[in-house]
C-alpha cells in the first residue's frame, strides 16, 4: 500500500503541496523578469517539469536530522524544505543578506547552512562525495539521518559520481542520490551521455545499493519513492538512487535557447506533461478541491510573492570592502613556541618519526580526528612511507582507514565529514604521491572555495598530506612538486617543511586549526639524517613564519623543502672558502608567505637568490621574486636570481634526474655569482 | 450479444489514428469508441470485451490521461471480462522500454480481474526491453509508427482477426 495517493492523502497536506508548487512556479516564472529589469538573477535554471520530485525531496527532508545538497535547479526543493520566498529571492538577487552566500555565489545556488541545506559548487555533482562524507560521519557518531544529494542525469557522466556511489555502496552509508532526469545536459541529449536511457541502471551491479525509479512529474509517485528511499537508507544504513523521470519545460537556463535544438513537437509534449497542471487537474477530478479553492490558493501565493519581492529588491547589496573576509579561517596561534623555534637538546629523530608521533599525539588529545588515504592502514603497513604506522592499531578502524584509489573521493569525503560538525579534524593522504593528486583538483578547488563561498559559514577542516618532490630516482610520476599549481588558489594554507621539528610543529598547528592546510612532505627527507632534529613533545610552528636556518650578511637565500639542505651545503662551502656569508631562510609556509622575514634579510644583504626544487619557470619562486621586485627594489644591489629544475618533467634514469633537479653545486655557483655581482 | 468498447485518447494524433483503424478492421458498429479523456469507472464496466490503447511516454510511462484516470479505476470489477491492449512505441529511439504502456495497462487490468487477450509474437521487432513482455510474447499489439509504419496495416488486420476469435 502506497502511503500517498490522490484519494486518501489528507486535504491539509494536499493544500500545502499545491501552495508550495504554485508559489515555486510563480518564482520560477518571475526570475527571468529580474534580469530583464537589470535587477539581477543573471543565472536562472528553471525547474518547471521537475515539480513532483522536488516537492517530495523537500517534504521528506528532516531538518535537524538530514543533510541536503541541492543543485542549481532545486528551487522548489528548498522551498519545500522550508526556505522562505524572501530567502530565495535574496539569493536570486545576490544581496548582502542572502543566507546562502551574501551575494558571493551565483544566483540559483540556494542554501541554508544552519539547517544543513548545504552551499554547493556549480561544478555538477561535486557535492556527491560531500554527501558520502557527511553520511560517514553520521554513521560514526550514530546520528540518525540521511544525506540527500541532487543533480541531473547528465552529471552521472562525471567520474566522481561513480566514485561517490561506489564509496557509499562499499561503506554502506545512508545517502540518497536523487537523479532528476530531464533528458538533457544543457543541449546534450541523454544518448550522448551514456548507453542506458535510465542512467541509474548503470549502477545496478553495485552491492548494498537500492535503485528506485519514479515519475518525477508526479507528486504522489515522487512522494512515495522518496519516503521509501529515506526509510530504507535509515533502516539499513545503505545508499539509494532515486531516478526521477522529469521533463525540462524551459531552456537549460536563461543563457540557453532551447528552440535551437528542440522541435515544436517536443516542446508541446513536454508542456503537456507539466506536473503542476497534472496535480491541479487531479485535485479537481477527484474532488479534493473546488476550482474556487484552488484559485484562492493561487491568489494567496501571488500575494506572498509580491510582498517578498518588495522586501528583497530593497535589501542591501554586498559591500565591496568585504571581499577579503572569509578567505580562510584564522588559524590556531601557538602559545608556547610563538615564532616556531626552540633550543631543546636531546635525541634527534627523523622526519617520518616526527610526523608519525605528532599525528599520534594529536589523535590522543582530540577524539574527533580521523585519518584516511590510500594504503595508509593495513596491518603493519602504515602508508607507502610508514608515516601512519601503528595508528590504526591504536585508534581503531573507524578513525584510521584505507581509502579506495580515488583521489577526488578522498578529498571530497573529507570535506563532507567536516560538514557534520566543526569539531572534526580530518587528515588525509590526498594521494600516494603528490604526482597522483591531479584527479582531486576539482575537490581541492571546492575546499578552497567553501569558506569564502559560504560567507564564512562552512570551512573544511582538513590537513591534506602529500608526499612530494624528487631525489629518489622516481621519474615523472614520483617526483613532482605541485605547489606552484596550488598556491594560486586562495583558501588554503600550504606548508613545506624541510626539518623534522618544523614538520611536527606545522602538523600540530594544522590539526588544531580550522580550514584547509596542505602539508607537503619532502619524501626524500623522511629518513634523511640531515633533516633529523630534536623535536620537543609539544612543538608548534605558526603558519606564515619562516625560519632562518643560517645567518648571513652577503646574500639572502630563500628556499624550502629539499633544497633547504642543498642550500645549506652551498652556504657552508661559500663560507669555508671565504666567498661570503649566506643567510638561508627556510620558508616553511608558502601560503601565507612570511614577507617580513625575507624583507628584513634583504635590507641587510641587498641581494637575493631564490631556490626551490620545482621548475624555475612559473614555480612558486616566481611569485616570491615578483613580490620582492614590487616591494624591495630599492634595497637590491643585484637582480633577483632563481635556481630550480629545468622546464622539463623529471627523468627516471639517475643521469637524467641529476641533469634536471637542482643540486648544491648549481646553488653554490648561483650564490657565488650573486655575492660577487 | 457481447459489447466491445474501444478505449483510447481521442485527442491524441497517432494513437487515435491506430484506434480508428482497429475499429474499421472490426467492421462497422462492432466496437464503440470511448474517449479515455472522459471515461470513468462505469464506462469500463459496461463492456464485456475491451480494447484499450496507449502510447508510451518518456522512459516507460503512461500518458497523463491514463495516469490521471487509473486511481479512479482502482476498484474496478472486471472479472469475466476480456481486455486486449494496443500500444505505440519506438523500438529504435526507446529500445529499453518499447511499448511499456501495454505492460502497465495489462498489470492494472489483470489486477482488477480481467483476462488479458490478444498476445502477439515479438517476431519482426528489435528492442532491448519491454514491460509488455511475458513468456516471450507481447501482452498486446505493438505498433511502431516511427520505424515500421508499413507493417501497421497487416499487424492490425492479423490482431483484429485474432481478437474476433478470442473475444468469443
pLDDT digits (tens, 9 = 90+) for A508-552: 999 999 999 999 999 999 999 999 999 999 999 999 999 999 999
Question: Using CA atoms, how far apart are residues A459 and A467, in angstroms rounded to an integer?
Answer: 24
Three-class DSSP category at A548:
strand
Mind telling me how many Å the CA of A215 is from chain B's nearest CA? Answer: 8
pLDDT of residue A227: 98
A431-480 pLDDT, tens digit per residue, is 889 999 999 999 999 999 999 999 999 999 999 999 999 999 999 999 99
Task: Please give the helix or strand (H or E) that residue A308 lies within, else none.
Answer: helix A291-313
pLDDT at position A385 is 86
B64/A285 touch (CB, cutoff 8 Å), yes or no: no
| Length of chain A, in residues | 677
The whole-angstrom separation of Cα B141 and Cα B102 is: 8
| Residues of A that are catalytic | 478
Does B94 contact chain A (CB < 8 Å)?
A: yes
User: Taking residues A10-18, what's their average pLDDT?
Assistant: 98
Half-sphere exposure in the Cβ direction for A632 (13 Å, CA): 26
Q: pLDDT class for A168, splitting at 50, 70, 90?
A: very high
Cite the DSSP H helix spans in chain B: 14-26, 41-45, 64-67, 100-111, 149-166
Report the distance separating Cα A497 and Cα A494, nearest Å.
Answer: 10
* Residues making up chain B, counted from first to last: 168
CB contact under 8 Å between B67 and A218, yes or no, is: yes
| pLDDT for res B167 | 94
Tell if the CB–CB gap between B59 and A7 is shorter than 8 Å. no
Where are chain A's structural domains?
Answer: 11-312, 351-531, 547-675
Distance of CA A84 to the CA centre of its chain: 28
CATH of A547-675, one of 3.30.420.240, 3.40.50.620, 3.40.50.920, 3.40.50.300: 3.40.50.920
Q: Is the pLDDT of residue A195 over 80?
A: yes
Closest Cα in chain A, distance from residue B15 (Å): 14
**Distance between A302 CA and the closest CA of chain B, angstroms:** 27
Contacts of A443 (CB under 8 A, 6+ apart): A126, A129, A160, A407, A408, A411, A412, A415
Q: Name the pLDDT band for A27 (thresholds 50, 70, 90).
A: very high
Grid coordinates of A250: 524551459
Query: Distance from B23 to chain A by nearest Cα, in Å?
Result: 26
**A7:B74 CB<8 A:** yes
Query: What's the gap between Cα A11 and its chain centre?
Result: 43
Give the Cα separation of A72 and A83 in Å (integer). 15
The fold of the A351-531 domain, in CATH, is: Rossmann fold (3.40.50)
Q: DSSP label at A349? A: B
- Rounded Cα–Cα distance for residues A110 and A117 (Å): 8
Give, as one character, the DSSP assignment of residue A140: H
- Please judge whether A245 and B72 are an interchain contact, meaning their C-beta atoms are less than 8 angstroms apart: no
| Chain A residues closer than 8 Å to B64 by CB | 272-273, 278
- Looking at residue A208, its pLDDT comes to 98
pLDDT band with cut points at 50, 70 and 90 for residue A132: very high
* Residue A367 burial (10 A CB sphere; 0-12, 13-18, 19+): exposed
**What string of H, E and C letters represents the secondary structure of A589-638?**
EEECCCHHHHHHHHHHHCCEEEEEEEECCCCHHHHHHHHHHHHHHHHCCC
pLDDT in tens, A383-409: 888 899 999 999 999 999 999 999 999
Among chain A, residues having any CB pair with chain B shorter than 8 Å are: 5-7, 181, 183, 196-198, 215, 218, 245, 247, 269, 272-273, 278, 281-282, 285-286
CA A307, CA A126: separation in Å to the nearest integer?
A: 35
The per-residue pLDDT for range A31-47, each reduced to its tens digit, is 999 999 999 999 999 99
> What pairing do the DSSP bridges indicate for beta strands A210-215 and A240-245?
parallel
C-alpha to C-alpha distances, A521 to A226, A483, A499, A504, A660, nearest whole angstrom: 46, 11, 10, 11, 20
Give the count of domains, chain B. Answer: 1
Q: State mean pLDDT over A562-577.
A: 98
| Mean pLDDT, range A235-263, rounded to an integer | 94
Using CB atoms, which residue from B61, B71, B72 is nearest to A245? B61
CB atoms closer than 10 angstroms to residue B135:
6
Chain B from 3 to 62: CB within 8 A of any A CB: 57-59, 61
CA distance A112 to chain B (A): 34
pLDDT at A575 over 80: yes
3-state secondary structure A39-89: CCCCCCCCCCCCHHHHHHHHHHCCCCCCEEECCCCCHHHHHHHCCCHHHHH
Q: What per-residue confidence (pLDDT) applies to A433?
A: 92
pLDDT (tens digit per residue) in B55-104 = 999 999 999 999 999 999 999 999 999 999 999 999 999 999 999 999 99
Neighbours of A294 (CB within 10 A): 17
Chain B residues lying within 8 Å of A278, measured CB to CB: 64, 67-68
Closest partner CB to B59 (pick from A245, A269, A286)? A245
Contacts of A245 in chain B (CB under 8 A): 58-59, 61
- Which of A614, A618, A624 lies closest to A587 in space, CA to CA? A624
Q: Are strands A493-495 and A462-468 parallel, antiparallel or unpaired?
A: unpaired
The ipTM assigned to this model is 0.94
Angle at alpha carbon of residue A510, lines to A504 and A511, rounded to 5°? 90
What's the average model confidence in pLDDT over A652-673? 98
- Cα-Cα end-to-end distance for chain A: 88
Contact B71 A218 (CB under 8 A): no
- Asked if the peptide bond before residue A382 counts as cis, ω within 30 degrees of 0, the response is no
Question: Look-up: residue for cell 580550522?
Answer: A514
* Best residue in A197, A272, A275, A280 for a mutation probing chain B (most B CBs within 10 Å): A197
Task: Please give the average per-residue pLDDT across B23-40, as a whole number.
Answer: 92
Closest chain A residue to B128 measured between Cα atoms? A196
Any bridge partners for residue B5, and if so which? B32, B50
Q: Least CB-CB distance to A6: which of B58, B59, B71?
A: B71
Element containing residue A429 per DSSP (H, E): strand A425-429
Beta carbons of A459 and A419 less than 8 angstroms apart: no
Q: What are phi and psi of A91, to 5 degrees?
A: -70, -45
Question: What pLDDT does residue B168 have?
Answer: 78
- Minimal Cβ distance to B71: which of A215, A281, A286: A286
Q: What is the pLDDT of residues B110-124, one digit of tens each?
A: 999 999 999 999 999
pTM listed for this prediction: 0.96
Residues from chain A that touch B72, judged by Cβ atoms under 8 A, are 285-286
Looking at chain B from residue 99 to 158, which residues have their Cβ under 8 Å from any Cβ of chain A?
Answer: none
Residue of B nearest to A201 (CA): B96
Q: Do the domains spanning A11-312 and A351-531 agree at the CATH topology level?
A: yes
Whether residue A430 is predicted with pLDDT greater than 90 in this model: the reply is no
> Who among A181, A197, A282 is closest to B68 (CB)?
A282
Average pLDDT over residues A414-425: 98
CB atoms within 10 A of CB A194: 15
CA distance, residue B64 to nearest chain A CA (Å): 7
Nearest CB among A7, A198, A272 relative to B59 is that of A198
pLDDT at A1 over 80: no
Three-state secondary structure along A27-40? HHHHHHHHHHCCCC
Q: Tell me, what's the pLDDT at A389?
A: 93
Cβ–Cβ below 8 Å for A197 and B96 = yes
State how far the Cα of A472 lies from the Cα of A493, in Å rounded to an integer: 26
- The whole-number pLDDT of residue A652 equals 98
Q: How many CA atoms lie within 13 A of A354 on its CB side?
A: 32
Inter-chain CB proximity A247 and B58 less than 8 Å:
yes
- Distance, CA of A517 to CA of A463 (rounded, Å): 5
Is the CB of A272 less than 8 angstroms away from the CB of B64? Answer: yes
Backbone φ and ψ for B157, nearest 5 degrees, come out as -60, -45
Are β-strands A147-152 and A67-69 bridged in parallel, bridged antiparallel, or unpaired?
parallel
List residues bridging with A615 in a β-sheet: A645
As a whole number of angstroms, the distance between CA B19 and CA B41 comes to 20
Count CA atoms within 13 Å of residue A645 on its CB side.
Answer: 27
Q: Where does the pLDDT of residue A316 fall: very low under 50, low under 70, confident under 90, or very high at 90 and above?
A: very high
Smallest Cα–Cα separation from B142: which of B16, B32, B54? B54
Alpha-carbon Rg for chain B in angstroms: 14
Query: Nearest-CA residue of chain B relative to A247?
Result: B58
A162 burial type by CB count under 10 A (0-12 exposed, 13-18 middle, 19+ buried): middle
- The reply to whether residue B61 touches residue A215, judged by beta carbons under 8 angstroms, is yes
In the predicted model, what is the mean pLDDT of chain B?
Answer: 95
Residues 6+ apart with CB under 8 A from A555: A580, A581, A582, A583, A605, A607, A608, A609, A671, A674, A675
Contact A176, A239 (CB under 8 A): yes
Q: Which domain holds residue B90?
A: 4-166
Q: Is A11-312 a domain of CATH 3.40.50.970? A: yes
- Neighbouring residues of A672: CB distance < 8 A, sequence distance ≥ 6: A574, A579, A580
Amino acid at each position: 500500500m502506497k502511503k500517498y495517493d490522490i484519494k486518501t492523502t489528507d486535504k491539509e497536506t494536499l493544500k500545502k503541496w499545491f501552495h508550495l508548487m504554485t508559489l515555486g512556479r510563480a518564482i520560477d516564472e518571475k526570475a527571468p523578469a529580474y534580469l530583464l529589469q537589470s535587477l539581477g538573477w543573471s543565472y536562472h535554471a528553471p525547474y518547471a517539469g521537475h515539480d513532483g520530485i522536488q516537492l517530495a525531496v523537500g517534504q521528506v527532508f528532516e531538518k535537524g536530522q538530514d543533510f541536503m545538497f541541492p543543485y542549481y535547479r532545486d528551487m522548489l526543493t528548498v522551498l519545500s524544505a522550508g526556505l522562505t520566498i524572501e530567502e530565495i529571492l535574496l539569493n536570486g538577487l545576490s544581496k548582502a543578506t542572502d543566507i546562502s552566500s551574501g551575494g558571493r555565489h551565483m544566483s540559483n545556488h540556494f542554501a541554508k547552512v544552519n539547517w544543513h541545506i548545504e552551499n554547493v559548487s556549480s561544478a555538477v555533482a561535486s557535492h556527491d562525495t560531500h554527501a558520502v562524507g557527511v553520511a560517514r560521519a553520521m554513521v560514526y557518531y550514530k546520528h540518525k539521518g540521511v544525506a540527500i544529494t541532487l543533480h541531473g542525469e547528465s552529471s552521472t557522466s562525471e567520474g566522481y559520481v561513480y566514485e561517490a556511489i561506489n564509496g557509499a555502496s562499499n561503506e554502506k552509508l545512508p545517502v540518497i542520490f536523487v537523479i532528476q532526469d530531464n533528458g538533457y545536459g544543457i543541449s546534450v541529449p541523454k544518448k550522448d551521455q551514456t548507453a542506458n536511457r535510465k542512467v541509474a541502471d548503470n549502477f545496478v551491479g553495485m552491492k548494498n545499493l537500492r535503485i528506485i525509479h519514479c515519475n518525477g512529474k508526479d507528486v504522489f509517485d515522487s512522494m512515495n519513492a522518496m519516503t521509501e528511499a529515506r526509510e530504507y537508507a535509515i533502516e539499513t544504513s545503505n545508499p539509494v538512487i532515486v531516478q526521477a523521470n522529469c521533463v525540462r519545460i524551459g531552456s537549460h537556463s536563461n543563457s540557453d535557447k532551447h528552440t535551437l535544438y528542440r522541435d515544436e513537437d517536443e516542446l508541446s509534449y513536454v508542456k503537456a506533461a507539466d506536473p503542476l497542471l497534472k496535480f491541479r487537474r487531479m485535485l479537481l477530478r477527484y474532488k479534493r478541491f473546488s476550482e474556487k479553492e484552488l484559485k484562492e490558493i493561487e491568489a494567496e501565493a501571488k500575494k506572498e510573492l509580491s510582498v517578498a519581492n518588495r522586501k528583497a529588491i530593497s535589501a542591501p547589496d554586498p559591500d565591496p570592502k568585504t571581499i577579503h573576509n572569509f578567505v580562510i579561517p584564522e588559524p590556531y596561534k601557538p602559545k608556547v613556541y610563538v615564532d616556531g623555534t626552540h633550543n631543546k637538546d636531546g635525541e634527534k629523530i627523523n622526519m617520518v618519526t616526527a610526523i608519525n608521533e605528532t599525528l599520534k599525539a594529536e589523535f590522543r588529545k582530540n577524539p574527533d580526528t580521523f585519518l584516511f588515504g590510500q594504503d595508509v592502514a593495513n596491518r603493519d603497513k602504515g602508508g607507502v612511507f610508514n608515516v601512519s604506522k601503528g595508528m590504526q592499531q591504536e585508534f581503531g578502524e573507524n578513525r584510521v582507514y584505507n581509502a579506495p584509489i580515488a583521489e577526488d573521493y578522498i578529498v571530497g569525503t573529507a570535506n563532507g565529514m567536516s560538514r557534520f560538525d566543526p569539531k572534526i579534524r580530518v587528515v588525509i593522504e590526498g594521494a600516494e604521491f603528490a604526482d597522483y593528486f591531479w584527479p582531486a583538483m576539482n575537490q581541492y578547488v571546492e575546499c578552497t572555495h567553501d569558506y569564502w563561498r559560504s560567507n564564512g559559514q562552512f570551512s573544511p577542516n582538513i590537513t591534506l598530506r602529500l608526499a612530494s618532490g624528487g631525489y629518489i630516482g622516481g621519474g615523472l610520476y614520483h617526483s613532482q612538486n605541485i605547489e606552484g599549481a596550488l598556491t594560486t588558489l586562495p583558501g588554503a594554507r600550504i606548508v613545506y617543511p624541510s626539518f623534522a621539528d618544523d614538520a611536527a610543529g606545522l602538523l600540530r598547528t594544522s590539526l588544531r586549526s580550522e580550514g584547509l592546510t596542505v602539508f607537503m612532505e619532502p619524501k626524500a627527507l623522511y629518513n634523511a639524517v640531515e633533516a633529523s632534529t630534536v623535536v620537543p613533545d609539544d612543538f608548534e610552528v605558526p603558519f606564515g613564519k619562516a625560519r632562518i636556518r643560517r645567518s648571513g650578511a652577503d646574500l639572502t637565500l630563500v628556499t624550502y623543502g629539499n633544497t633547504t639542505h642543498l642550500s645549506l651545503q652551498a652556504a657552508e662551502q661559500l663560507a669555508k672558502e671565504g666567498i661570503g656569508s649566506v643567510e638561508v631562510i627556510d620558508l616553511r609556509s608558502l601560503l601565507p608567505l612570511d614577507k617580513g622575514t625575507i624583507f628584513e634579510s634583504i635590507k641587510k644583504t641587498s641581494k637575493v637568490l631564490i631556490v626551490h626544487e620545482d621548475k624555475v619557470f612559473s614555480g612558486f619562486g616566481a611569485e616570491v621574486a615578483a613580490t620582492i621586485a614590487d616591494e624591495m627594489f630599492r634595497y637590491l644591489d643585484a637582480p633577483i636570481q632563481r635556481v630550480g629544475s629545468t622546464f622539463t618533467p623529471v627523468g627516471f634514469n639517475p643521469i637524467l634526474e641529476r641533469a634536471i633537479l637542482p643540486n648544491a653545486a648549481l646553488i653554490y655557483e648561483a650564490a657565488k655569482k650573486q655575492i660577487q655581482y | 450479444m457481447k459489447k466491445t468498447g474501444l478505449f483510447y485518447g481521442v485527442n491524441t494524433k497517432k494513437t487515435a489514428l491506430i484506434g480508428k483503424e482497429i475499429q474499421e478492421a472490426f467492421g462497422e458498429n462492432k466496437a464503440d469508441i470511448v474517449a479515455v479523456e472522459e471515461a470513468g469507472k462505469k464506462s469500463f464496466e459496461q463492456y464485456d470485451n475491451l480494447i484499450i490503447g496507449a502510447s508510451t511516454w518518456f522512459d516507460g510511462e503512461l500518458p497523463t490521461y491514463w495516469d490521471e484516470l487509473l486511481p479512479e479505476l482502482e476498484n474496478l470489477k472486471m472479472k469475466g471480462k476480456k481486455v486486449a491492449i494496443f500500444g505505440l512505441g519506438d523500438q529504435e529511439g526507446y529500445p529499453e522500454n518499447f511499448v511499456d504502456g501495454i505492460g502497465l495497462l495489462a498489470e492494472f487490468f489483470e489486477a482488477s480481474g480481467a483476462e488479458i487477450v490478444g498476445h502477439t509474437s515479438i517476431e519482426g521487432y528489435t528492442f532491448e526491453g519491454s514491460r509488455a513482455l511475458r513468456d516471450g510474447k507481447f501482452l498486446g499489439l505493438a505498433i511502431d509508427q516511427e520505424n515500421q509504419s508499413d507493417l501497421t496495416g497487416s499487424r492490425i488486420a492479423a490482431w483484429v482477426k485474432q481478437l474476433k476469435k478470442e473475444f468469443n
